[in-house]
Amino acid sequence: MMNKLPLAVLLAAFFLGGCGSDSETASPSLPDPEQPKPDFLTVDVKPDAKFEGEVTVYLGRYDDQLKDWLQANPELDLNGDGHVDERDAHLHKTPEHPNGVFNEPEPYYTINAADIAKVLSTNPDGLGAGSARADIFVEGHYSVFDLLRYLVHTRKDLRFDSVASPQETGRDTHEFTISWDRNKDGIFDERDANVYSNFQTPDWHARIKSNGGVEKKLNGTLDGKGPQGEGHYERLDQVMLQPGMAVRLQAFSPEMTQRRLWVQNREMARLAQNGGKVIVPRLMINKPDPANLDDRSKDTLMMIENVEVTAHNMRPDIFQPGVITKMDVFLSARQRGVDVKFNYWPTLSTGAKVDHFALFSVDGIDSQVGKGWTTVYGEQAVMNDFKPNAKCEFSRPESGGMDLQVDAEHCRLDWNSNFGGNVIHVMSDVWVMNQPVEFVMTGYLSHYPLWGMEEFNGQEPKERDFSESRDGSDIAYLQVFDLPSVADKDAPVLTESHFGWKIADCTECHNESKDPLGHGGHSWPINNNDGFSIMQPYYCSTCHGSNGAPLGHNETARCFWCHTGGSNTPKHHGDASTKKLYRKDALLSNDKIYNHPDLLNVLPRDKWGNYEVYDNIWHSKNSDWNMSDVFPDPYSCMTCHPDKS
């Protein structure tokens, strides 16, 4: 059943109503490695993830002084900029904090993936050689619970007091009691408590941070993931341990444990109710008006009820056949008439190693780099659990009606944060969902206002000042050009016979000092009309074609986000193939910066959440701090790599 009604009407129906029609059976679609790429992928890629590199581990709850200060002083705007953030805390000098309020560094441990694999291969605890969930992960991949197994086996200050199997718990997950000798006195006892018990406790769980590379925007204590990481209700033995991930293993409040088990019990009940089938009661798509993607008031809600989710095995490099992920929700919805497409995020220009599929297009509306489709999953009752000022009123009907009263301080410590609950930074192709959540929702949102970015869509012409001082002395007019038609036999379009076929930078051979000289040996094609005084290969392509450049894949801007990281750095693209060291002022003064320090939500911070300006960053010539005038992104990209031939 598919409905297209005004958003307000359907949201009201969703909050008040029950499930609708019976589900339709969807057959799994198993991709054959030898087959062409599925039509729901925008790029032809077959990932081959390896558990290599390092993971970072923190033990124990983090004592977040900045969080305490911000919540106690919500109106103390000491620097007079109109809002209160970490910079105000740093200015607040008191007898207890004579230098202002800062978060202190804490010990952390960097662990090599190879060491984890070596230890776990011996089955040190009887829970399995390799992953304890060999039914979920293929050989060579592990869960966050497996990381804890490694730590317990290799550290004297951690021990399992008991471990129950997924079959014993009835929640398809290992559950355990653990002790941590926090004070390092060699004795496990209640003296190791730090707000919560660390002795024979069932309340240990994990907060996580995905690999963010050099970016530091989301380390805020109340507007980001914070130094502690994202709290969540997921099963630790089903959360993939990824290289570059930061994991905090800690005691939570007993109330947090009860809330987490309540969520998992609801999922198990839903699975049993449907005879072991993973059926998501509601898939909701907040669909924007194609004519005005930025106007949320014109969104309509497409609701698909009772989606039976089957495994499409898109990550055979990570998961065993038949493991269901949240990516499968959308692929299964294709059987119900939803046109969805996924792209692939490699290692990004920030140095963040992603290597996952991402939802790119729904019902014909594509993402546009800085804006596009984002998803949330879970139980409707827990959607407001993690908020900067969460009240933890779980006994309220809209919060599930639990028989649970949460201590106010426990609520503040465990739930008060901007991110959490749905761990939005875990990509859907590695988010295991063998038990059905109550709903999946996707909507079209924009990061441009949040990050202060200027929106290049690759279509509208734009003026840009290329002078180093940005004083308006070197204004050029940027635009996307049309390529010549290959059907025009008189056009000088290059073919495979060209000795420089697929070499993007024409000037590697065609320049003032190398033969063969062209255009009479002296008249090089310069786009003077638009204000340029140098050769630009993408301007040459207006007569000579794209010289074998591959077609694009429906992206429209900021190509450097993916194509200046690791193996995706474009070769033979002049200075766009190089990196530049940007120093302090260059990182703060550029008019295209998306982490400007005057914007609260994007303050750069160190890993502890203290305000810290960007110092030195290696990035490509095309970036949010600069633009190549030879291969300007996205204009040159959109010219030579059109989406269709």
Q: Across-strand partners of 208?
A: 230, 247
Task: Spell out the residues 6+ positions from residue 557 whose beta carbon is closer than 8 angstroms to its own.
Answer: 368, 369, 370, 455, 456, 457, 458, 634
Q: Can you give the pLDDT at residue 349?
A: 86
DSSP, res 177: E
In angstroms, the CA 448 to CA 445 distance is: 9
Q: Across-strand partners of 374?
A: 443
Task: Spell out the residues 6+ positions from residue 251 whose beta carbon is closer than 8 angstroms to its own.
Answer: 60, 61, 180, 194, 195, 196, 197, 198, 201, 203, 204
SS3 of 211-278: the string is: CCCCCCCCCCCCCCCCCCCEEECCCHHHEECCCCCEEEEEECCHHHHHHHHHHHHHHHHHHHHCCCCC
pTM over 0.85: yes
Q: Can you give the pLDDT at residue 302?
A: 94
H-run or E-run covering 354: strand 353-362
Q: Can you give the pLDDT at residue 510?
A: 84
H-run or E-run covering 376: strand 371-378
Q: Alpha-carbon torsion 10, 15, 16, 21, what sign?
A: positive
Distances (CA, A) of 262 to 251, 347, 383: 18, 37, 14
Q: Which residue has the tokens 């829970």?
A: 127
Torsion of CA 170, 174, 179, 180, to 10 degrees: -140
**Cβ-based burial of 485 (10 A; exposed 0-12, middle 13-18, buried ≥19):** exposed
pLDDT, tens only, 390-421: 999 999 999 999 999 999 999 999 999 988 88
| Residue ranges, the chain, pLDDT below 50 | 1-31
DSSP, res 134: T
Q: Can you give the pLDDT at residue 3?
A: 43
3-class DSSP state of 593: coil
Alpha helices in 406-522 (DSSP H): 408-414, 448-451
Q: Can you give the pLDDT at residue 522?
A: 63
Say if residues 20 and 305 touch (Cβ distance below 8 Å).
Answer: yes
Say if residues 359 and 337 touch (Cβ distance below 8 Å).
Answer: no
- Other Cβ atoms within 10 Å of 212 Cβ, number: 20
* Edge-to-edge strands, sheet with 54-59: 109-112, 54-59, 246-251, 204-209
The one-letter amino acid code at 100 reads G
Task: Spell out the residues 6+ positions from residue 208 whose beta carbon is closer than 8 angstroms to its own.
Answer: 144, 229, 230, 232, 239, 245, 246, 247, 248, 423, 426
Backbone phi and psi for residue 397, each to the nearest 5 degrees, phi listed first = -55, -40
Q: Which residue has the tokens 């607040």?
A: 92
- Domain ranges (residues) in the chain: 2-49+270-451, 54-257, 457-645
In angstroms, the CA 422 to CA 225 distance is: 12
Q: Can you give the pLDDT at residue 591?
A: 63
Q: Can you give the pLDDT at residue 449?
A: 77
Phi-psi region at 400: left, alpha or beta (left = phi > 0; alpha = psi -120 to 50): left
pLDDT above 70 covers a percentage of the chain that reads: 91
Task: Spell out the residues 6+ positions from residue 155 whose beta carbon is closer than 8 angstroms to its own.
Answer: none
Average pLDDT, the chain: 88
In angstroms, the CA 636 to CA 505 distance is: 11
Q: Can you give the pLDDT at residue 213?
A: 81
Q: Can you give the pLDDT at residue 584?
A: 77
**Cβ-based burial of 16 (10 A; exposed 0-12, middle 13-18, buried ≥19):** exposed
Q: Can you give the pLDDT at residue 618?
A: 85
Q: Can you give the pLDDT at residue 597?
A: 58
**Cβ-based burial of 431 (10 A; exposed 0-12, middle 13-18, buried ≥19):** buried
Say if residues 639 and 481 touch (Cβ distance below 8 Å).
Answer: yes
DSSP, res 305: E
Q: Alpha-carbon torsion 222, 284, 209, 408, what sign?
A: positive
Q: Can you give the pLDDT at residue 585?
A: 76
